[in-house]
Structure 1
Amino acid sequence: MIEHIEKISDWIEHLIKKHDPDIGNLSIDAKTQKNILYHITCISTNLKKIHPYLSKRLFEIGEKLFYTRQFSNPILPPPQSQFYPYGQIGNYHIPILQSPITIIKESIISINICMFCRLHEIILFLKNNNYEDINWDYIHKSIVDISKQKFLDGHYADAVETAFKYINTYIKDIYLKSNPKNKDLTGAPLMSNIFANEPLKISLEEQDTETGRNIQKGYARIFEGCMLAIRNQTAHDNIVMSKEMAFQKLALASLLVTRLEKAKINIFSPEQ
């Protein structure tokens, strides 16, 4: 979506810089009209779920942004001879045309300046609020709830740290149900204890097949590795993280939370 936002933004800024305040009087070629309406449609479609109001407004703007103006262009006929014959009306001598005037009706595509201003406001809003071409529907709701806004605000490392702290806390709460006094176990050692040490506290797959055991071992290392390479790094170091890298790590956190929800919990409280 960001690509379409940038295309419209560049077009708007160009018109304002070169033609303001005469934008409403410009003639727009059909190719430009088609391209701008295409970008508006793409943005509107992408916003349907995350911002339905703006999606609807953009759709309405797209329908009214351009309109066709018609005007008549008179074409005088060529003279029949070197001199026009003249007639007289009152005290004035006027040429008498030998053939009728041709009226050509032409049309031009113009910009509805009111819709143009509204489009400009929405594009500025989208740029300032970092709306991205990202489908959060594929990210687990728990991660969306705690990390999405931080991500949209540009706090990428903080969004990632929050997600993996959530995973650590989620697993630690399970562990403390049967080990309430061992509150210091956390991070990579906690993951190893939960997923790798026998008897298994959390089973991600049935352990009666080699495939199931391999999946358990693989995810045990992934959970442990995430605590070492991602959670600890973002928590203790001043990390500058790119938007792309942050979202990839949030997707990984989403996968781990999804696996946890489907896992078999083998820990019981001391009373049980």
Structure 2
Amino acid sequence: MDINRINTVCCWMRNLSNQPNILNMPVSTSDVTNIREGLLVVAKDIEREQPFLSNQLMTIKNRLFREVPVSWNIIHIYINPFAFGQEIEVLDILLAQNLNGQGDWWQFIHPKIAEVSKKLFLDGSYANAACDAFIEINDRVKRLFQVVKPGEKIPDGDSAMKTVFSANTPLIEFCDRSADSGVNTQKGFMEMLAGAMSALRNPKAHANIPIEQEDAMRRLIFASMLMYKIDEAVLYSKIIEPLKPQ
């Protein structure tokens, strides 16, 4: 299984699906070709060891795009968001299986998370490693608030997440919110970030709660997913992010 190829195809699809107003925009033939051919190669590559997932990739691949005739000689191609989500989910399963089967899982951890948590984790300080990952997310969002609202009182924890990534009046957007899918994306990630602050950052501050290695790994992976999503939001909202204080 070529994990780099799987990751490349997954990134193509995520980047395309995250483009502003993508549901109402025609997709280029080059994007369609790259994604379809990439999925075909991945499906063939895993056919023997993962026949079910290979079949899923091939089946869903044929539903990824819909063609809409504009005139007798012009056809516009649009993505099918439901099929896109299904296909990305299959690719994520393959990536997760590879993650569980190899030692160097840190390549999937966001660099900002690895910077604050890797040494602690390797030293066996699993609770501190997991806790510091979410502290880093909190600190980053507070710095982003200062950029957007300089001079104003800086919120903290779940309040910071709900203020900066508000479902109704966000200071920073994850994506285009003109359609229901965008509104749901904004609301969903705001709630995940706020929940992470309450459930995964705060408890360690109030009690010495032991965390096992596998639980710490799961928390670091979740923190990385959230941190990568903040990367997307900063890029989409055209925020010039300040350097982290040393």
Measured against the shorter chain, the TM-score band is: 0.5 to 0.7
Alpha-carbon distance, 1:160 to partner: 1.1
Q: Which residue number corresponds to residue 227 of structure 2?
A: 257
How many angstroms does 1:184 deviate by?
4.5
State which drifts further: 134-143 or 174-183.
174-183
Residue 134 of structure 1: CA displacement? Answer: 4.7
Q: Which of 135, 148, 155 is 1:185 aligned to? A: 155
Whether contact under 8 Å (1:150, 1:159) holds in the other structure is: yes
Name the structure 2 match of 1:225: 195
Picking from 185, 192, 205, the partner of 2:175 is 205
Percent of residue pairs identical: 33
What CA distance in whole angstroms lies between the structure 1 residues aligned with 2:140 and 2:193? 12
Distance 2:173 2:119 in 1: 32
The aligned residue for residue 165 of structure 1 is 135
Report how far residue 203 of structure 1 moved.
Answer: 0.9
Are 1:156 and 1:246, in contact at CA under 8 Å, matched by a contact in 2? yes
1:177 aligned counterpart, secondary structure: helix
Contact kept in structure 1, 2:120 and 2:129, CA below 8 Å: yes
Q: Is residue 142–residue 156 contact of structure 2 (8 Å, CA) maintained in 1?
A: yes
Deviation at 1:267, TM superposition (A): 6.8
Q: Aligned-pair RMSD on alpha carbons?
A: 2.2
Which stretch shifts more, 243-252 or 175-184? 175-184
SS at match of 1:150: helix
Q: CA–CA distance in 1 between the matches of 2:191 and 2:207? A: 23
Query: For 1:203, what is the secondary structure of its paired residue?
Result: coil
Any idea what the Cα deviations from partners look like across 1:220-268, whole Å, max 9, x if unmatched?
1000000000101122221100101011000011001101111133779
| Aligned with 1:144 (options 114, 117, 121) | 114
TM-score, normalisation: structure 1 = 0.47
> Comparing both structures, which one devotes a greater share of its residues to helix?
2
The answer as to 2:214 corresponding to 1:244 is: yes
Structure-2-length-normalised TM-score: 0.52
Question: 1:234/1:205 Cα in 2 relative to 1: closer, same or farther (>3 Å)?
Answer: same
Structure 1 contact 178–268 (Cα < 8 Å) conserved = no
- Stretches of structure 1 that go unaligned for 5 or more consecutive residues are 1-131
Question: What CA distance in whole angstroms lies between the structure 2 residues aligned with 1:135 and 1:197?
Answer: 33
Q: How many Å separate the matches in 2 of 1:261 and 1:268?
A: 11
CA contact (8 A) 1:188 1:224 kept: yes
Matching of residues 22-61 of structure 1 within 5 Å: none
Q: Distance in 2 between matches of 1:265 and 1:236?
A: 35
Q: How many angstroms does 1:185 deviate by?
A: 1.2
How many aligned residue pairs are there?
Answer: 138
More strand by share: 1
Letter matched to residue 108 of structure 2: Y
